Amino acid sequence: MQTQARPMAIKLPETDRERLKRLGEVKKRTAHWLAREAISQYLEREEAAEKFKQDTVARWDEFCQTGRSAPNDDVMKWLDSWGTDKELKAPKCK
């Protein structure tokens, strides 16, 4: 469910305003629509990157606490089997 939009002012260099206008004409969209879309895509990308970082730190913390990991040789054999008729199951942590 989308929340009600509220106005927000941003200051752009004239060159960026012109670029938005030109691209809007090509895409048959308003500069306003393009700016909203750009902000939305930026937020999605940055939130995903932040979640990835947080998940990575959590996995590292878990490793530091438990010491559990899959042996490199097992991981390499598993990766080498990808795309073959004899693809192996992911190695277990020890």
What gap in Å lies between CA 45 and CA 47, rounded to an integer?
A: 6
pLDDT in tens, 35-90: 999 999 999 999 999 999 999 999 999 999 999 999 999 999 999 999 999 999 99
- pTM equals 0.73
Handedness of CA 72, 76, 82, 85 (dihedral sign): negative
With 70 as the cut, is the pLDDT of residue 1 above it?
no
